[in-house]
Amino acid sequence: MTLAEEFRSRNFSIYGQWTGVLCIFLCFALGISNLFHASFVIAFSIVCLVCAFVIIFIEVPLLLRICPTSPKFDAFIRKFGSNYMRAAIYFVMSAVQWISIWPQPTSLIAAAVFLLIASFFYALAGIKGQQFQGSKTLGGQGVAQMII
């Protein structure tokens, strides 16, 4: 299945996964750029950076096979295999970034919005009863098993 066919499948978990990939870049870039504030926003920047690295392992399952990680971390990441669990983790990450408005409104709002959109896509996939379908481009459905 090509990338265009994946998007035409109308499976909202694919949309959520690609929005999650966008969130990786946003969280990383905005986390670094907001580290230079002289306020409490630094804490939210660090959380945003951590979220970027967690999302990388959630959305690109191939990395769990090739990166040396601990068994506890692998077990933690594997908990987010269903649409509802992914919606929940994205919603929590989004809520934390929305709270970052409290000390000072910054560009972390963009990360909060896109994390919320990813959460919405995964929740919609769960509500519609769609099975989680990982993109082949990101190492899903057989690509990770071929590495072993």
Task: Spell out the domain ranges in the chain.
Answer: 26-147
End-to-end alpha carbon distance in the chain: 22
Q: Say what the pLDDT of residue 143 is.
A: 47
Contact 25, 103 (CB under 8 A): no
pLDDT digits (tens, 9 = 90+) for 90-107: 999 999 999 998 888 999
pLDDT digits (tens, 9 = 90+) for 3-59: 566 566 777 888 888 899 999 999 999 999 998 887 888 999 999 999 999 999 988
pTM across the whole model: 0.85
**40 CB-near residues (< 8 Å, 6+ apart):** 103, 104
